[in-house]
Chains A and B, each alone.
Chain A
Amino acid sequence: MDLLRFTTAGSVDDGKSTLIGRLLYDSKNTFEDQMAAVEASSKKRGDENVNLALLTDGLRAERE
């Protein structure tokens, strides 16, 4: 399997994390326990839908 290196560049809140999260999700590169953790965090934060940005935004500062 070949490795794909992928970079995003943009301002704060341009949607970088959401895009990467969505690509990971669509390419089936997420695990069940990761998705469960993201779903639980989304619910806790009051997000309407599962927030796929949380797949990459692991640090407290990024979740603020």
Chain B
Amino acid sequence: MNYTIDQLAQLEAEAIYVLRETAAQFENPALLFSGGKDSIVMAWLARKAFWPAKIPFPLVHIDTGHNFPETMTYRDSFVENLGARLIVGSVQASIDAGRVREETGPDASRNMLQTVTLLDTVEEHQYDAALGGGRRDEEKARAKERFFSARDEFGQWDPKNQRPELWNIFNGRKHHGEHFRVFPLSNWTEMDIWMYIQREEIELPNLYFSHKRNVIKRGNALLAECKYVSPQPGELAEEKVVRFRTIGDATCTGAVESDADTLDKIIQEVATARQTERGTRADDQRSETAMEDRKKEGYF
């Protein structure tokens, strides 16, 4: 008999294998949940991986306090439908405790501050593995990171000290105080995520679908006007028809002009896109190795 499975089913099987391997090899894993499409898909896969049992680890949201309200509403109902446990690490609490200092100026963002909150949350709950939704096409540093990514006792990544991953053998051995980042979606692309969302009929935050919104053009990015982003001198907030290709902190996630208001139209748009989705992320454009440098400090 000729048994073949298509690309999406292969990716799904691989991710489920990695999720189960994480549950098997670590004592206290957690799934990092941002409310974006990648972590939604990852949580969806986790439910499948352990069904009919509940997901055997909590979802952890590192909350910058500058999220879109739609993300927060979605998060709470998604977690409830999943029957999962939610742990929130608050960047605001890190600021109040004096662990980090808030950036100032028009480009101020809490994106960098998340690293400290993340590492503090990992330490507080003694997580020994943190599952992340990083994908290969997202950023060049992410493409070079393993499924099982060892972090030292300070949470730092050393790209020159990565473990070989032969066939389906993953090595999660670690010293006391170290932890792992695990990336079940390592081999997925933006297109795979959208095709999978369509196939599985996964509900998404409506930010991903085309809608009218007041936006401010800053650099290459169209930032949504909101409590945390207002026009600077010389800038103008204008109503446009937009959607978001990625969802993160409202201060650094740009919208794209688009009339794609259904999954079919989004898939069509992604197929013909001339820019990567991170082309709209102000945080990646700070330097050419911005992501690697943040990862070395312990970022997602």
Contact = CB atoms under 8 A, between A and B. Distances in A.
Same assembly: yes
Interface of A: 3, 31-34, 37, 40-41, 56-61, 63
B279 A3 contact: no
Interface in B277-300: 278-279, 288-289, 292
B143 interface: yes
B292 A31 contact: no
Given A59-B289, A60-B289, A61-B160, A31 B7 contact: no
Interface residues of B, number: 17
Interface in B252-275: 273-275
A33 B275 contact: yes
Contact of A31 (B143, B159, B275, B288): B275
B141 interface: yes
A34 B64 CA distance: 28
Interface of B: 7, 139-141, 143-144, 159-160, 273-276, 278-279, 288-289, 292
B160 A31 contact: no
A31 B273 contact: yes
Question: Closest 10 interchain pairs by CB?
Answer: A58-B140, A33-B279, A31-B276, A32-B274, A33-B275, A59-B159, A58-B141, A60-B289, A32-B275, A41-B288
A57 B7 CA distance: 26
Contacts of A56: 140, 143
Contacts of B276: 31, 33-34
B159 A37 contact: no
Given A32-B274, A32-B279, 9 more contacts: A31-B274, A31-B275, A56-B143, A58-B141, A58-B143, A58-B292, A60-B159, A60-B289, A60-B292
Contacts of A3: 7
Contacts of B279: 31-33
Contacts of A33: 275-276, 278-279
Nearest to B275: A33
Contacts of B143: 56, 58
A36 to B, nearest CB: 9
Nearest to B288: A41
B273 A61 contact: no
Contacts of B274: 31-32
